[in-house]
């Protein structure tokens, strides 16, 4: 963010975060796939999921870190990671994919295919035909006389690089589209064999290598503002899969009192330092349900900017619960950053659920299904009431509302 | 921004003060941890001269001595000017624990700062820590409890027990541990509710929010 505030081209030695952020100029808006926030002027980019952007207050600010607590089987968190990367491909951003489990090339191959929307195209065509047919219909349109001198709405040429896209999960992205972008890989097993000797700095070896790799790319490709980028400015999207799992060589998932309890938190702190200085945004999935020591998760939350938890219904009793029949899981927004403002964009409701269809992954308010039957037996209603209680206890302290009144 | 250290030498900061200008005047010394942490950790050998205040990140021991030295020298340098009564602001002491500093060393650091800032220079220290009732972070709770024991004024901001509310964002407990002459004062413990707006915060007595009245 500092890189943005100082104008990018100047060395950012003397700059601190105190500086007033310049209002979004055309220079900033020139980066594809980003838009300045109306609220606080920071540059936002889409997470690849328009409904998630909406929940997070318009999108992910450049220079911040989004932490996703994985669902039990990691299905939906992986999907969110892929949406984030796919959005980068569509916008022409540079990608950095890090994993200890899958080869980054395989992750990229499995990205969902973007839907270059026919709806939008149809609208354009419809508008054009409407404009063409205007002269002959002019007499019959007297009612709209006050609108006839208004300038025609210009359909922007960059309609395809608008903010946020939709994806088809059933198809994978085409290889041509993949080749058109620049991406960097970090696959832990092959990195470990490459450079065996390294200064570890009291951190798990995998984390050290990952940090150095990210730093190298940020500096070499000129994502930090200090080095003038010759080409068009671009954004680096960093995706890290299952950070903190055993495969990274970290033992926070296996022991209550792990040997290097500070490895993960240290990594996050340094990573955030790197992100703040550069034109980049990062998404990390963490298997939070595996981390035994809850204190670590508290610290990790404090060290991240945005924290979102996923809870899928697969394998739980909620899968068959009539309350949740429309949804695949719940999403908990734990933390939203406050940028240039005392408050964050918090949505009115805390009860959010997600549903996955073939072409649409949406996050929406959790609604109770309508009760359509005429003769609703009292017992089933009580069942529903029980499960709503279950739900609210998960999302807040509503259940104790009866005995405690704040005002 | 987490883990940044601010040292100001002004008795009060009123509205609309330019911090950048204050920094140029030498009124404000600002140590931004996030910015230099990567270089401390992976950078080449230290430049000769003063060691980096964030030296402790790269060492296994949690030695905050260099940071204390930084605080002391910054304050002593500005102490000779007309700025009196310095204030040391520490934005998030809890981050130090995440970086591997032992709780005892954090408390030692604060104690040394108290001696230097509060007693010798007649200044104030303001420290931010995270805490919650159901926290399982024992090290952090130890630091918080010790700080509560030492401090004269505690501002405890927390959410409402009854959950999220659009018009009342939380409540602020003010606990004032008065000196001996203030002992008779009644309102040592006060609770206000607050609502945060874009640029300021409004405080009101419990149950007196605009939405309710």
Is B206 a residue whose pLDDT tops 70? yes
Most confidently predicted of A193-197, A229-233, B186-190: B186-190
Condensed to tens digits (0 to 9), the pLDDT of residues B19-60 reads 888 888 888 888 888 888 888 877 765 555 667 788 788 776
Position B81 scores a pLDDT of: 59
Position A357 scores a pLDDT of: 85
Map residue B129 onto helix, strand or coil.
coil
Could you tell me which residue, A347 or A94, shows the higher pLDDT?
Answer: A94
Position A66 scores a pLDDT of: 95
Residues 3-32 of A with CB under 8 A from B: 16-19
Position A232 scores a pLDDT of: 67
On whether the CB atoms of residues A368 and A388 are closer than 8 A, the answer is: yes
Condensed to tens digits (0 to 9), the pLDDT of residues B99-110 reads 888 899 999 999
CA-closest candidate to residue A285, choices A1, A43, A46, A75: A75
Position A160 scores a pLDDT of: 39
- Min Cα distance B120 → chain A (Å) is 29
Does the pTM of the predicted model rise above 0.90? no
Condensed to tens digits (0 to 9), the pLDDT of residues A338-361 reads 887 777 776 667 788 998 887 888
Residues 30-89 of A with CB under 8 A from B: none
Q: Do A215 and B42 touch (CB under 8 A)?
A: yes
- Out of A17, A270, A293, whose CB is closest to B38? A270
Q: Do A265 and B99 touch (CB under 8 A)?
A: yes
**Strand segments (E) across A111-196:** 112-114, 167-172, 183-187
Confidence of residue A250 (pLDDT cuts 50, 70, 90): confident
Confidence of residue A24 (pLDDT cuts 50, 70, 90): very low
Which position has the token pair 């401090």? Answer: B151
Q: How far is Cα A12 from Cα A276, in angstroms, rounded to an integer?
A: 12
Q: Which residues is A375 bridged to in the sheet?
A: none
Position B179 scores a pLDDT of: 60
A179 at B interface, C-beta within 8 A: no
- Out of A270, A276, A299, whose CB is closest to B137? A299
Could you tell me which residue, A236 or A222, shows the higher pLDDT?
Answer: A236
The arithmetic mean of pLDDT across residues B2-29, rounded, is 63
Could you tell me which residue, B11 or A216, shows the higher pLDDT?
Answer: A216
Confidence of residue A281 (pLDDT cuts 50, 70, 90): very high
The arithmetic mean of pLDDT across residues A18-38, rounded, is 62
- Min Cα distance B44 → chain A (Å) is 11
On whether the CB atoms of residues B36 and B67 are closer than 8 A, the answer is: no
- Min Cα distance B163 → chain A (Å) is 5
The arithmetic mean of pLDDT across residues A182-209, rounded, is 79
Position A157 scores a pLDDT of: 37
Q: Is the dihedral of CA A175, A179, A180, A185 positive or negative?
A: positive
Is A390 a residue whose pLDDT tops 90? no
Position A286 scores a pLDDT of: 94
User: For residue B48, how far is the Cα from the chain centroid?
Assistant: 30
- Out of B30, B200, B207, whose CB is closest to A16? B30
Nearest chain A residue to B132 by CA: give it: A298
- Min Cα distance B185 → chain A (Å) is 26
Q: Do A269 and B95 touch (CB under 8 A)?
A: yes
Could you tell me which residue, B203 or A387, shows the higher pLDDT?
Answer: B203
Q: Do B196 and A343 touch (CB under 8 A)?
A: yes
Q: Contacts of residue B201 in chain A, CB cutoff 8 Å?
A: 342
Give percent above pLDDT 70 in chain A. Answer: 68
Condensed to tens digits (0 to 9), the pLDDT of residues B124-172 reads 999 999 988 888 889 999 999 999 988 889 999 998 888 878 888 899 9
CA-closest candidate to residue A52, choices A284, A268, A274, A362: A362
Position A343 scores a pLDDT of: 78
Is A5 a residue whose pLDDT tops 70? no
DSSP 8-state class, residue B33: H
Confidence of residue A231 (pLDDT cuts 50, 70, 90): low
Q: How far is Cα B175 from Cα B117, in angstroms, rounded to an integer?
A: 22
A2 at B interface, C-beta within 8 A: yes
Position B108 scores a pLDDT of: 93
Position A306 scores a pLDDT of: 93
Q: Contacts of residue B207 in chain A, CB cutoff 8 Å?
A: 406-407
Q: Mean pLDDT over all residues of chain B?
A: 80
Q: Which helix (H) or strand (E) holds B104?
A: helix B103-113
A344 at B interface, C-beta within 8 A: no
> DSSP per residue over A294-326, as a string?
HHHHHHHHHH-SEEEEEEE-TTSGGGG-GGGTT
Give percent above pLDDT 90 in chain A. Answer: 25
Q: Mean pLDDT over all residues of chain A?
A: 76
Q: Contacts of residue A17 in chain B, CB cutoff 8 Å?
A: 1, 4, 32
Condensed to tens digits (0 to 9), the pLDDT of residues A39-59 reads 778 889 999 888 888 888 888
Is A18 a residue whose pLDDT tops 80? no
Q: Do A404 and B162 touch (CB under 8 A)?
A: yes
Confidence of residue A234 (pLDDT cuts 50, 70, 90): confident
Return the structure tokens found at A344: 């964050």
Q: Do A211 and B95 touch (CB under 8 A)?
A: no
Q: Do B164 and A407 touch (CB under 8 A)?
A: no
Confidence of residue A71 (pLDDT cuts 50, 70, 90): very high
Q: Distances in Å between the alpha carbon of A342 and those of A222, A339, B51, B202?
A: 32, 8, 35, 12
Nearest chain B residue to A396 by CA: give it: B163
Q: Do A269 and B37 touch (CB under 8 A)?
A: yes
- Out of A2, A302, A406, whose CB is closest to B94? A302
Residue A15: Cβ within 10 Å count: 20
Confidence of residue A395 (pLDDT cuts 50, 70, 90): very low
DSSP 8-state class, residue A392: H
Could you tell me which residue, A123 or A31, shows the higher pLDDT?
Answer: A31
Confidence of residue B180 (pLDDT cuts 50, 70, 90): low
Could you tell me which residue, B83 or B68, shows the higher pLDDT?
Answer: B68
């Amino acid at each position: 963010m500092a890189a943005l505030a100082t104008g990018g081209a100047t060395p950012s030695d003397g700059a601190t975060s105190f500086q007033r952020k310049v209002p979004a100029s055309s220079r900033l808006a020139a980066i594809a796939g980003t838009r300045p926030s109306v609220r606080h002027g920071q540059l936002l980019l889409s997470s690849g999921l328009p409904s998630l952007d909406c929940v997070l207050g318009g999108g992910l600010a450049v220079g911040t870190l989004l932490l996703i607590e994985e669902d039990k089987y990691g299905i939906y968190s992986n999907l969110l990671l892929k949406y984030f990367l796919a959005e980068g491909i569509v916008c022409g951003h540079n990608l950095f994919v890090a994993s200890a489990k899958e080869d980054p090339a395989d992750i990229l191959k499995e990205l969902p295919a973007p839907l270059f929307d026919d709806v939008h195209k149809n609208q354009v065509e419809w508008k054009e035909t409407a404009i063409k047919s205007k002269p002959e219909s002019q007499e019959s349109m007297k009612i709209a006389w006050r609108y006839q001198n208004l300038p025609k709405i210009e359909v922007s040429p960059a309609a395809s690089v608008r903010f946020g896209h939709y994806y088809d999960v059933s198809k994978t992205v085409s290889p041509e589209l993949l080749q058109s972008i620049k991406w960097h890989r970090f696959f832990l097993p092959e990195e470990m064999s490459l450079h065996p000797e390294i200064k570890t700095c009291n951190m798990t070896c995998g984390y050290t290598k990952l940090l150095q790799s990210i730093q190298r790319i940020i500096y070499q490709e000129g994502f930090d503002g200090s080095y003038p980028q010759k080409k068009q400015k671009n954004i680096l999207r960093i995706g890290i899969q299952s950070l903190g799992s055993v495969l990274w060589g970290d033992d926070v998932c296996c022991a209550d009192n792990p040997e290097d309890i500070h490895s993960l938190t240290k990594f996050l702190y340094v990573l955030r330092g790197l992100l703040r200085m550069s034109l980049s945004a990062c998404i990390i999935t963490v298997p939070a349900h595996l981390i035994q020591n809850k204190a670590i998760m508290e610290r990790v939350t404090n060290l991240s900017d945005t924290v979102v938890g996923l809870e899928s219904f697969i394998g739980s009793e909620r899968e068959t619960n009539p309350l949740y029949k429309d949804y695949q899981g719940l999403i908990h927004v734990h933390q939203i950053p406050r940028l240039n403002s005392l408050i964050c964009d918090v949505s009115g409701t805390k009860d959010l659920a997600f549903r996955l269809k073939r072409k649409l992954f949406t996050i929406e308010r959790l609604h109770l299904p309508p009760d359509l039957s005429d003769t609703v037996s009292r017992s089933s209603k009580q069942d529903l009431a029980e499960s709503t209680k279950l739900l609210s206890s998960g999302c807040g302290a509503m259940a104790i509302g009866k005995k405690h009144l704040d005002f | 921004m987490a883990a940044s250290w601010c040292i100001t030498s002004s008795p009060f900061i009123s509205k609309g003060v330019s911090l950048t200008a204050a920094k140029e005047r030498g009124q404000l010394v600002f140590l931004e941890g996030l910015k230099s942490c990567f270089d401390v950790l992976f950078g080449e050998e230290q430049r000769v001269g003063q060691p980096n205040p964030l030296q402790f990140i790269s060492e296994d021991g949690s030695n905050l001595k260099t940071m204390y030295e930084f605080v002391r020298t910054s304050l002593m340098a500005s102490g000779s000017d007309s700025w009196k009564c310095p204030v040391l602001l520490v934005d998030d002491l809890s981050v130090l624990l995440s970086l591997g500093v032992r709780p005892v060393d954090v408390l030692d650091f604060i104690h040394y700062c108290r001696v230097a800032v509060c007693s010798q220079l007649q200044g104030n220290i303001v420290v931010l820590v995270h805490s919650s009732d159901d926290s399982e972070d024992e090290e952090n709770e130890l630091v918080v409890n010790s700080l509560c024991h030492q401090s004269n004024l505690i501002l405890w901001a927390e959410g409402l027990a009854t959950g999220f509310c659009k018009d009342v964002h939380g409540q602020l407990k003010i606990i004032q541990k008065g000196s001996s002459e203030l002992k008779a004062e009644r309102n040592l413990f006060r609770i206000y509710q607050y609502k945060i707006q874009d640029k300021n915060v409004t405080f009101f007595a419990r149950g007196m929010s605009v939405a309710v009245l």
